[in-house]
Amino acid sequence: MPTITFIRPDGTAIPLEGKAGDTIMRLASSHGIPEILAECGGACACATCHVIVDDAWVGRLPPIGTLEADMIEFAQNPTPTSRLSCQLTIDAGMDGLVLRLPEG
């Protein structure tokens, strides 16, 4: 199972084992990570599952889709490496992935 590490705004690292085929949003939600609200339940309609991909991983994830790119504009403090965790499906190649959780 791939390990994905979430970095909270205070710098606390939360490593979690993900199941291939689940979304990163579901992984975070099922472990009670409060920064991932996931208000739309994964429909790419709210941007409350916003994460910031560590620079080392930017080119290693699937490219951002049009709908996700449009929705990122509504995220709080988006960055050039922002993604919506509901649009990232966990696979074995994500072992070691580091995601920062935005403040707010």
The domain tally of the chain equals 1
What CATH number does residue 89 fall under? 3.10.20.30
Global confidence as pTM: 0.94
Q: Please give the full DSSP string across 24-90, using - where no structure is assigned.
A: HHHHHHHTT-TT---TTSSSSSS-TTEEEE-GGGGGGSPPPPHHHHHHHTTSSS--TTEEEGGG-B-
pLDDT tens for each residue of 16-42: 999 999 999 999 999 999 999 999 999
Q: What domain range is 88 assigned to?
A: 3-100
pLDDT computed for residue 103 by the predictor: 86
pLDDT tens for each residue of 48-85: 999 999 999 999 999 999 999 999 999 999 999 999 99
d(CA 15, CA 24): 12
